[in-house]
Amino acid sequence: MNDKPNIILINCDDLGYGDLGCYGSAKNNTPHLDKLASEGLRFTDFYMASPVCSPSRGAMMTGCYPPRIGFGSFHGQVVLFPGYDIGLNPNEITVASQLKQAGYATKIIGKWHCGDQPEFLPTRHGFDSYFGIPYSNDMGRQIDRPDNPPLPVVRDETVIQEQPDQRGITERYADEALQFIDEHTEDESPFFLYLAHMYVHVPLFVPKQFLEASSNGAYGAAVECIDWCMSVLMDRLKERGIDENTLIIFTSDNGSRAQGEGGSNGPCRGTKQETWEGGQRVSCIMRWPKAIKPGTVSNAVVSSMDFFPTLSNLVGVPLPEDRIIDGHDISAFFSGPDAAAPNDTFFYYKQDALEAVRVGDWKLHFRKGDETMDALYNLRDDVGESVNLYSENPDIVEALSQKAQAMREDIGDDSRGIVGKNVRPIGKVENGKPLTQYREDHPYMIAMYDLADMATMSG
């Protein structure tokens, strides 16, 4: 009988801090995710390492800030695009690679977005199998992007469909997840499932029943479809008698871009693509009845980079000694919110530029894009970053500035012309090419998606 916990990591796309009921939403109906939070641990100060998705996802997989693994910028873009000759270096070690060492069966379903060339696909990074769309769902052929290659659905390393009906994608993902759970319940091997949802990235194609029931338009329907998927997974885990020893982690890759358009980053300032709190502070819920006390709420400073060391230590796999890992083991919080925090510092990078740093309750901003700034906020009192306390607290400014300078020397800051001492290269191949190519004679189910994404940038 397997004693190691099964692990399910659920990562949404562009889901805002305030989009779930348990994080304050009055617009979206999320009873199953709210129940998940009530039965486990909810973090209030949880961060993704980037406000956009490719660097965010690379950081979560490796436990490292994006610039450390060469994931700050991609040919000058903020995310990877189809056919790029760069991606997550095959020499990087991922959470999946670590868990495989402990005998876990590993699978990813959904969005990868760490490179679409064969050398960069999940099956080369510790995952036994893959099913999903390898990048953002707006990167297929759309009315406002007619020159994009057809959107691929990939199984392992093979394109099995192009331009799918996106209204059915989440249902297909749920079915794939159930099959994986059943398979490894039968063989009693511990499993790691990484389910990376398509929602709520635009364009929002949602099933009719969710759209009709939503009081928040297509955005709310997409959120509620995510909640439905959670209910399906929980039902199967309980039916199989393995929910007590399954660790579920639920989060989002960055904040909502749709603030005011259905999405909400709650009381936080800013949106996706920004290093204000709304761009990187996201929901994070953990449920594991065998180890986590129900109804726990923690305001510790934690991040997705902590998953790598936490899960590694949980299953008894040592951290690699030949590289720096930025994350910290946060398993002490499983026993309650009063555990000693292993870390109180977080650095806000946008591409390869350091824009802000948080230490404890204080956050110091240096710049936003091309503009420098001097701003200090007490996030415990002012999560909306509205009252600048820079002038009144020179000692705090100096202390945080010193932390920032040490980080610049470690992994760089191109806004100040500083090259980091401890960075690793992005993966590169020769002659990258898209996974698909449009053919006029191909019988696509959806030849051209008919909703413009209205976004300024993918990711």
Q: Which residues are catalytically annotated?
A: 53, 113
Residue 308 structure tokens: 């790598």
Residue 164 structure tokens: 């799918």
**If residue 233 lies in a helix (H) or strand (E), which one and from where to where?**
helix 217-239
d(CA 145, CA 329): 43
CB 280 within 8 A of CB 365: no
Which strands form 362-368's sheet, in the order they lie side by side?
345-350, 353-359, 362-368, 371-378
Tell me which residue of 324, 198, 253, 282 sits closest to 79, measured CA to CA: 253
Residue 335 structure tokens: 């026993």
Instruction: Calculate the dihedral angle through the C-alpha atoms of 412, 417, 419, 424, rounding to the nearest 10 degrees.
Output: 70
Residues in Cβ contact with 266 at an 8 Å cutoff, skipping those fewer than 6 apart: 16, 17, 18, 23, 24, 25, 278
d(CA 218, CA 306): 33
CA atoms lying within 13 Å on the CB side of residue 161:
14
d(CA 52, CA 81): 13
Place of tokens 């292993």: 342
Bridge partners (DSSP) listed for residue 87: 427
Residues in Cβ contact with 100 at an 8 Å cutoff, skipping those fewer than 6 apart: 106, 126, 128
Please count the residues of the chain: 459
End-to-end Cα spacing for the chain: 41
d(CA 154, CA 156): 6
Three-class DSSP category at 378: strand
* Amino acid at position 455, single letter: A
d(CA 61, CA 37): 23
d(CA 91, CA 70): 12
* Amino acid at position 101, single letter: Q
